[in-house]
Amino acid sequence: MTQDEIYEMVRESDLGFLLGDNWMMQHEFEYLAKLVAAKEQDRCCAIVFAQCESDNVAQRTVDAIRGRT
């Protein structure tokens, strides 16, 4: 997730007024967004491993989800 994507989500959520010129608040939003994205990514990867009959296929899919390909 890019910084621009994070800031766009903040603006869409009507929390953009909190950003302003406050660097610390921007950093905190970015940190939170990355934590949420990582948690969601982990859940997606767990579903892949649960649904795939082949660990090899599952691992290739998980690697793609995590951007390792």
Residues 6+ apart with CB under 8 A from 44: 65
Read off the pTM. 0.64
Residue 23: give the domain boundaries.
3-65
- Per the structure, how many domains does the chain have? 1
Q: Which residues contact 25 (CB under 8 A, 6 or more apart)?
A: 18, 19
pLDDT tens digit sequence for 10-67: 778 877 777 666 666 777 888 888 899 899 999 999 999 888 888 898 999 999 988 8
